[in-house]
A and B are shown apart, each in its own frame.
Chain A
Amino acid sequence: MKPPPFDYHAPRSVGEALEILTEAGDEGKVLAGGQSLIPMLNMRLTHPRHVVDVNGLTELATVEAGPGGVLVGALARHAQVERSEPVAAVQPLLRRALGLVAHPVIRNRGTVVGSLVHADPAAELPAVLALLGGSVRLARPGSTRDVAADVFFTGPLESALRPGELAVSALFPALGPRSGTAFHEVARRHGDYAISGAAALVVLDEDLRVVTARVACVSAGPVPVVVDVTGVCGGDRWEAADWRGAAAAVWDETEPEGDIHASADYRRHLLGVLAERALTEAAQEAGNR
Chain B
Amino acid sequence: MTTRLFGEPVRRREDPRLLTGRGRYLDDIGEGAYEVAFVRSPHAHARIRDIDVSAAIDVEGLVAIHTWEDLPARLAEPLPLLIPHPALTHGRTAYPLARDVVRHVGEPVVMVVARDRYLAEDVCGLIEVDYEPLAPVVGIEEATRAEALVHEDVPGNVGAHLVQEVRSATGLGAREAIEAAPYRLEFGLDIERSASMPLEGRGVHARWDAGDRSLRVHSSTQTSTSVRMAIAAKLDLPLPQVEVVAPDVGGGFGVKIVHPWPEEVLVPWAAMLLGHEVRWTEDRREHFVSSAHERAQTHHVRVGFDERGRVLGLDVTIVHDHGAYTPYGIIVPIITSTQLPGPYKLGAYRVEFSSVYTNTVQVTPYRGAGRPQAVFCMERTMDRVAEHLGLDRTAVREANFIQPEEFPYDQGLIFQDGRPLIYDSGDYPESLRRLKDLVGWDDFPALKEQAAKQGRRIGIGLGCYVEGTGVGPYEGGHVQVTSDGRVHVSTGLTSQGQGHETVFAQIAASELGVPIERVSVVTGDTRRFGYAVGTFASRAAVMSGNAIALACGKVREKALRIAADALEADPGDLEIVEGEVRVVGSPGTALPLATVAVLSNPLRYAFDEEAGRATQFAGTSSPDRPPVAEGDEPGLEGRDYYSPIRSTFASGMHAAIVETDPLTAEIRILRYAVVHDCGNLINPMIVEGQIHGGVAQGVGGALYERMVYDEHGQLLNASFMDFLMPYATEIPRVETAHLQTPSPLNPLGVKGAGEAGVIPVSAVIASAVEDAEGIRIDRMPISPSELFDLRRAASSG
Contact = CB atoms under 8 A, between A and B. Distances in A.
Interface residues of B, number: 29
B42 interface: no
Nearest to B722: A260
A199 to B, nearest CB: 17
Given A3-B118, A266-B788, A189 B664 contact: no
B273 interface: no
Interface stretch (B298-306, B334-342, B643-651, B726-734): B726-734
Interface string B767-797: 0000000000000000111001100100000
A273 B785 contact: no
Interface in B678-723: 704, 708, 716-717, 719, 722
Contacts of A186: 664, 666, 784
A263 B722 contact: no
A189 B784 contact: no
Interface in A1-52: 1-5, 43-44
Interface in A205-227: none
A162 interface: no
Nearest to B666: A186
Contacts of A261: 722, 724, 783, 785
Nearest to B118: A2
A269 B717 CA distance: 24
Nearest to A5: B122
Contacts, number: 64
B784 A266 contact: yes
A83 B127 CA distance: 50
A189 B729 contact: yes
A191 interface: yes
Interface residues of A, number: 25
A152 B201 CA distance: 41
Interface string A73-90: 000000000000000000
A44 B117 CA distance: 14
Contacts of A145: none
A189 B727 contact: yes
The listed residue with most A CB atoms (<10 A of its CB), out of B664, B665, B724, B726, is: B664
A5 to B, nearest CB: 7
A44 B285 CA distance: 12
Interface string A163-194: 00000000000000000000000101111100
B664 A273 contact: yes
Contact of B663 (A1, A44, A190, A273): A273
The listed residue with most B CB atoms (<10 A of its CB), out of A188, A263, A273, is: A188
B633 interface: no
Given A2-B121, A186-B664, A186-B784, A260 B729 contact: no
B710 to A, nearest CB: 9
A195 B665 CA distance: 13
Given A2-B118, A261-B722, A189 B785 contact: no
B788 A190 contact: no
Contacts of A266: 665, 784-785, 788-789
A270 interface: yes
B717 A260 contact: yes
26 contacts: A1-B283, A1-B284, A2-B118, A5-B118, A44-B121, A103-B727, A188-B704, A188-B783, A189-B704, A189-B724, A189-B727, A189-B729, A190-B730, A191-B729, A260-B708, A260-B716, A261-B785, A262-B784, A262-B785, A263-B789, A265-B788, A265-B789, A265-B792, A266-B665, A266-B788, A270-B664
